[in-house]
C-alpha cells in the first residue's frame, strides 16, 4: 500500500488511494465511531443545550481501547504513587477532570472520524482505480487526529505499548492472525508520518 501524503501548493495535502485502501480506512473509521459511541444528548436532539451542559463519566472506560483513547489525566502509568493518600488524590483529580472534559474529547474524535468518512465517500476513482484525496490544512489536521486515534486503537488491540515493540511485527509469518491488523497499523503510521510532514512550515 504505497499511498503517501504530499503537500499541495498553498497548503493542504493530497494522497492517491485505491479502492482497497479507501475501504480499509473507511471501515476502521466507522468502527472507531461505533466504539466512541453517541453524544450524551443523542436522545434529546431538540435541546441544543443538553449536550453543552451534560457531565461526562468520572470513571475510566473498561474497554482497553477507550482507555487508551481517553487516559486518566493525573496518573503516570510508569510510576506508582508513593502512598495510598497520594493514589486516592490522583484518582479524585482524574475523575474530576474526566467529568468535565471527556464529552468534548469524544465529540472531537467523532468529528474527526466523520470527516474522514465523508471525505472518502466523496471520492471518485479514475480508470486505473485510483482516487486523489485533497485536503485543506484544517481538513489535514482532522485527518491527522483520526489517523492517530485509529493507530492507538489498533495498537491497543495488539498490546503495543512502545513504538519499539513494532520491530518484531515486521517478521510475523503470513499465517499469524495478527498480520492484517499489523499491516494496517504500519501502513497508517506511514500515512500519519507523511501527513505530519505536509503540515510543517
pLDDT tens by residue, 80-92 = 556 676 666 666 6
CA–CA separation, 154 and 158 (whole Å): 6
Contact (CB, 8 A) for 134 and 14? yes
Contact (CB, 8 A) for 143 and 188? no
pLDDT tens by residue, 12-66 = 999 999 999 999 999 999 999 999 988 765 554 555 555 555 566 656 678 888 8
**pLDDT above 60 (res 149):** yes
Contact (CB, 8 A) for 182 and 188? no
* pLDDT confidence of residue 91: 66
Amino acid at each position: 500500500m504505497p499511498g503517501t501524503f504530499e503537500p499541495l501548493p498553498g497548503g493542504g495535502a493530497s494522497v492517491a488511494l485505491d479502492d482497497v485502501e479507501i475501504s480499509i480506512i473507511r471501515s476502521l473509521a466507522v468502527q472507531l465511531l461505533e466504539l466512541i459511541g453517541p453524544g450524551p444528548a443523542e436522545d434529546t436532539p431538540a435541546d441544543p443545550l443538553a449536550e453543552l451542559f451534560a457531565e461526562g463519566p468520572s470513571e475510566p472506560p473498561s474497554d482497553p481501547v477507550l482507555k487508551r483513547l481517553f487516559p486518566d489525566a493525573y496518573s503516570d502509568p510508569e510510576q506508582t504513587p508513593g502512598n495510598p493518600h497520594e493514589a486516592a488524590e490522583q484518582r479524585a483529580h482524574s475523575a474530576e477532570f474526566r467529568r468535565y472534559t471527556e464529552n468534548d474529547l469524544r465529540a472531537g474524535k467523532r468529528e474527526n472520524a466523520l470527516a474522514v468518512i465523508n471525505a472518502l465517500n466523496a471520492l471518485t476513482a479514475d480508470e486505473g482505480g485510483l482516487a486523489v484525496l485533497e485536503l485543506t490544512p484544517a481538513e489535514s489536521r482532522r485527518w491527522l487526529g483520526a489517523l492517530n486515534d485509529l493507530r492507538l486503537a489498533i495498537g491497543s488491540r495488539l498490546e503495543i505499548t512502545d513504538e519499539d515493540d513494532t520491530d518484531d511485527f515486521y517478521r510475523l509469518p503470513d499465517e499469524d492472525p495478527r498480520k492484517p491488523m499489523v499491516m494496517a497499523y504500519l501502513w497508517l503510521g506511514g500515512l500519519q508520518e507523511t501527513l505530519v510532514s505536509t503540515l510543517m512550515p
